[in-house]
């Protein structure tokens, strides 16, 4: 079965990148401010640590602007940031109200890391913070019959649960949106947007591994007559029927796509021209041998296919589609129901 390509979760990435960049600017600004304050107070060691944090944040900002490994760099930022928070909590001169900052941990972790990793990192740091807090203020365990510590634990759990539920919901909405934006609504095959993405991915894979890559353009023959004779609804069902045949016949790594109307394309990774011709022939035979049937309605089908091979017929998707389209045109001119790979 075909169509197992993934489309990147671009919208979530860009939101997280924007948030991390804002945080880094904020961290750099605060670091610079406290550097000046502590220099004036004469607390030199702390002042230079803060200056170091400000410079590190600015350097990280430059990396984060472009990196494809956003999650990795987010962790590089979050772990020292949250560890400093834990150290601050533990300092003898720190007031118990420093603990209030722990409430931003689940929100920050979920927004920056997504539901799963966000939950794990939040739970880890919340447990460390609670342990440090109780170690430093053991009275809270015994005062008012646990009421105060129960308040802290419950309010933290509620914040954690809300952050998780919110982030899981928006993660699902983003995934649904990506599926909608990359799928043909009638046949559920990939659309051209997803096909373009898959092509770029497969071409760089083919370049790296020195493997072949081919493409088919498939057009149903005389489809206008199907609509004219049986109506548009049956025409739609025929398109769904053809999409199903493509899915059944192709490998999981192949990508069939509905370009529009009654035209389909198929991306064939790891497939040279000769193998692509065989695949095209078997698709043509399959479609011709399985007319669409529903009750007493029987619609005989056939298709014409143009074949193009990456490298021989061009480098870009547009060049390959143009070559395959020309051959498809030749197939139509020569009487339809055939595969053409030259010309
Ligand atoms: N039912 C249905 N018909 C569609 C859809 N999209 C395009 N069509 C129809 O597909 C037909 C395509 O007709 P033509 O471009 O003339 O091609 P053809 O009849 O297949 O003839 P050849 O390609 O030359 O074999 C038109 O009648 C379009 O209205 C769709 O989503 N559903």
Structural contact between residues 111 and 19, judged by C-beta atoms closer than 8 angstroms: yes
Percent of the chain with pLDDT over 70: 96
- Is 262:202 a contact under the CB 8 Å cutoff? no
Q: Ligand 1: which of 261, 304, 329 to mutate, judged by most atoms within 8 Å of the beta carbon?
A: 261
200 contact partners, CB below 8 Å, separation of at least 6: 317
Beta bridge partners of 256: 266
Asked whether 107 and 156 are in contact (CB, 8 A), the reply is: no
pLDDT digits (tens, 9 = 90+) for 124-178: 999 999 999 989 888 887 776 678 888 899 999 999 999 999 999 999 998 899 8
pLDDT digits (tens, 9 = 90+) for 22-50: 999 999 999 999 899 989 988 888 789 88
**Ligand 1 center to residue 261 CA distance, Å?**
6
**Secondary structure of residue 256 in the 3-state scheme:** strand
Check if 231 has its Cβ closer than 6 Å to any atom of ligand 1: no
Say how many Å lie between the CA of residue 239 and the centre of ligand 1: 10
The dihedral through the CA atoms of 80, 83, 89, 94 has a sign that is negative
- Name residue 293's beta-bridge partners: 298
Which among 101, 62, 63, 67 is positioned nearest to 81, based on CA atoms?
Answer: 101
Predicted local confidence at residue 11, as pLDDT:
56
CA–CA gap between residue 92 and residue 76 (Å, rounded): 27
Distance CA 239, CA 264 (A): 10
Q: Which residues contact 140 (CB under 8 A, 6 or more apart)?
A: 133, 134, 148, 149, 152
Per-residue pLDDT for 244 more than 80?
yes
Where does CATH 3.30.70.270 sit in the chain?
192-340
User: Mean pLDDT across the stretch 184-203?
Assistant: 96
Alpha-carbon distance of 73 to 54, in angstroms, equals 16
Which of 184, 186, 219, 223 gets mutated to test ligand 1 (max ligand atoms within 8 A of its CB)? 223
CA distance 202 to 259: 18
* Mean pLDDT value of segment 335-339: 98
Q: ipTM of the assembly?
A: 0.91
Alpha carbons 26 and 323: distance in angstroms, whole number: 53
Are 222 and 232 within 8 A, CB to CB? Answer: no
CA dihedral 343, 204, 114, 112 (to 10 degrees): -120
Rounded CA separation 193/330 (Å):
27
How far is it, in rounded angstroms, from Cα 328 to Cα 340? 7
For the Cβ of 232 lying below 6 angstroms from any atom of ligand 1, the answer is yes
The residue whose CA has the least distance to atom 30 of ligand 1 is 261
Instruction: Give per-residue burial for 98-117: e unless 16+ CB within 10 Å, then b.
Output: ebeebeebbbbbbbbbbbee
Question: Ligand 1 atom closest to Cα of 232?
Answer: 1
Q: Is 227 in the pocket of ligand 1 (CB under 6 A)?
A: yes
What pLDDT score does 6 carry?
43
Q: Which CATH superfamily is domain 192-340 in?
A: Reverse transcriptase/Diguanylate cyclase domain (3.30.70.270)
Mutate to test the pocket of ligand 1, among 227, 299, 301 (most ligand atoms within 8 A of CB): 227
Token digits for 62? 């430059």
Model pTM? 0.71
Instruction: Please name the residue whose Cα sits nearest to atom 4 of ligand 1.
Output: 261
- Return the best residue to mutate from 243, 262, 297, 340 for the ligand 1 pocket (most ligand atoms within 8 A of CB): 262
Distance CA 196, CA 219 (A): 19
Does residue 221 line the site of ligand 1, with CB under 6 A?
Answer: yes
Q: What mean pLDDT comes out for the span 273-288?
A: 98
CB of residue 336 inside a 6 A radius of ligand 1 = yes
Atom of ligand 1 nearest to the CA of 220: 20
Average pLDDT, the chain: 92
Looking at the CA of residue 233, tell me the nearest atom of ligand 1. 1
At 309 the three-state DSSP class reads: strand
pLDDT recorded at residue 70: 95
Closest CA to 267 of 313, 332, 200, 208: 200
**Each residue's pLDDT tens digit, 56-109:** 999 999 999 999 999 999 999 999 989 988 888 888 877 788 889 899 999 999
Question: Which own/partner pairs from 62-68 qualify as long-range (CB within 8 Å, at least 24 positions apart)?
Answer: 64/17, 64/20, 64/21, 64/24, 65/17, 65/21
Nearest atom of ligand 1 to the alpha carbon of 236: 1
For the Cβ of 261 lying below 6 angstroms from any atom of ligand 1, the answer is: yes
3-class SS of residue 300: coil
């Amino acid at each position: 079965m075909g169509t197992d390509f993934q489309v990147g979760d671009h919208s979530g990435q860009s939101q997280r990148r924007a948030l991390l960049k804002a945080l880094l600017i904020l961290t750099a600004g605060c670091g610079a401010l406290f550097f000046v304050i502590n220099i004036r107070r004469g607390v030199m060691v702390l002042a230079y640590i803060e200056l170091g944090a400000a410079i590190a944040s600015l350097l990280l900002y430059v990396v984060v602007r472009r990196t494809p490994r956003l999650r990795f760099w987010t962790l590089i930022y979050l772990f020292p940031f949250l560890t400093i928070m834990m150290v601050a909590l533990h300092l003898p001169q720190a007031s118990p109200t420093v603990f209030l900052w722990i409430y931003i941990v689940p929100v920050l972790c979920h927004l920056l890391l997504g539901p799963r990793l966000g939950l794990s990192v939040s739970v880890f740091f919340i447990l460390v913070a609670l342990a440090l807090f109780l170690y430093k203020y053991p009275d809270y365990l015994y005062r008012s019959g646990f009421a105060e510590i129960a308040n802290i634990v419950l309010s933290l759990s509620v914040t954690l649960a809300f952050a998780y539920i919110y982030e899981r919901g928006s993660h699902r909405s983003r995934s649904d949106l990506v599926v909608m934006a990359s799928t043909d609504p009638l046949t559920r095959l990939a659309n051209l947007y997803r096909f373009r993405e898959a092509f770029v991915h497969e071409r760089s894979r083919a370049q790296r591994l020195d493997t072949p890559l081919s493409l088919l353009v498939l057009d149903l023959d005389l489809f206008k007559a199907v609509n004219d004779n049986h109506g548009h609804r049956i025409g739609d069902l025929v398109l769904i029927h053809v999409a199903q045949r493509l899915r059944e016949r192709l490998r999981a790594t192949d990508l069939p796509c509905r370009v529009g109307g009654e035209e389909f394309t198929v991306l064939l990774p790891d497939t040279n021209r000769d193998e692509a011709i065989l695949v095209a022939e078997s698709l043509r035979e399959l479609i011709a041998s399985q007319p669409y049937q529903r009750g007493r309605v029987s619609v005989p089908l056939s298709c014409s296919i143009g074949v193009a091979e990456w490298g021989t017929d061009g480098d870009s998707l547009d060049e390959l589609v143009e070559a395959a389209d020309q051959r498809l045109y030749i197939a139509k001119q020569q009487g339809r129901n055939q595969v053409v790979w030259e010309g």
